[in-house]
């Protein structure tokens, strides 16, 4: 099983979760090769506007090569890129879009058998979990969707205390981990550890981990 870094969110321009990424890159080994999946936006082009930004960021963290995996790439090419990589990075965007695309291309199976480190940022983190909670930016509407199940838990990324009432109510149906931007839940073969502030909701009660 891969080691997962479930990042609640990051302002990549400000490198606001650099501490989390540094830890993940160290775990991936010296001068890791990184495979990036920028598939979480509802509409995207092959250029992905943050490509150079992420490239510069990851090189500063010690990456020896960064390969962006396009949705138009062949299954064989995607699989080969993953075999050659030490770290996989799933970008932010829309969790349901990312889950659907990863499943459609068979990448979900590749991720389950992957032996390296996976960083999921925001939607990328949600997609890696058994279930994920998403909220609409323009309203208070909350959705719970199924993820890929690499981490056997329910996650809320971009956590803010304003959502406590909703999370407390939902936690009566099952426990929820809530991760703010800049913090991360690290999931390693069923064992959880935490970087920064991570919260846990269960049976209507919130606690800080």
**Please, what are the domains in the chain?**
3-208 (3.40.50.880)
Q: What share of the chain is helix, strand, coil (3-state, %, to 5)?
A: 30, 30, 40
- Residue 35 pLDDT exceeds 70: yes
For range 29-55, the mean pLDDT: 84
Select from 181, 100, 114 the least CA-distant residue to 150: 114
Digit-coded pLDDT (tens) for 176-188: 999 999 999 999 9
pLDDT band, very low/low/confident/very high, at 42 (cuts 50, 70, 90):
confident
Q: 1 falls in which pLDDT band (50, 70, 90)? A: confident
pLDDT at 47: 54
More confident residue, 68 or 140: 68
User: Element (H or E) spanning 80, and its range?
Assistant: helix 75-84
For residue range 106-161, list pLDDT tens digits in order: 999 999 999 999 999 999 999 999 999 997 665 567 889 999 999 999 999 999 99
d(CA 159, CA 113): 29
């Amino acid at each position: 099983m891969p080691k997962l870094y479930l990042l609640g969110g990051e302002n990549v321009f400000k490198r606001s979760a650099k501490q989390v990424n540094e830890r993940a890159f160290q775990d991936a080994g010296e001068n890791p090769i990184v495979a990036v999946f920028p598939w979480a936006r509802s509409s995207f082009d092959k250029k992905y506007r943050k490509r150079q930004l992420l490239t510069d960021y990851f090189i500063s963290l010690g990456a020896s090569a960064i390969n962006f995996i396009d949705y138009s790439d062949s299954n064989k090419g995607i699989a080969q890129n993953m075999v050659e990589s030490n770290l996989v990075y799933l970008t932010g965007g829309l969790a349901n879009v990312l889950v659907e695309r990863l499943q459609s291309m068979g990448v979900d199976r590749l991720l389950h058998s992957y032996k390296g480190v996976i960083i999921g940022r925001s939607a990328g983190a949600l997609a890696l979990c058994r279930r994920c909670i998403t909220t609409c930016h323009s309203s208070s509407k909350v959705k719970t969707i199924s993820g890929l199940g690499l981490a056997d838990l329910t996650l809320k990324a971009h956590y803010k205390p304003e959502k406590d009432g909703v999370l407390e109510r939902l936690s009566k149906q099952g426990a929820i981990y809530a991760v703010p931007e800049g913090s991360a839940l690290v999931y390693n073969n069923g064992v959880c550890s935490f970087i920064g502030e991570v919260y846990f909701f269960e049976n209507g009660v919130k606690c800080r981990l």
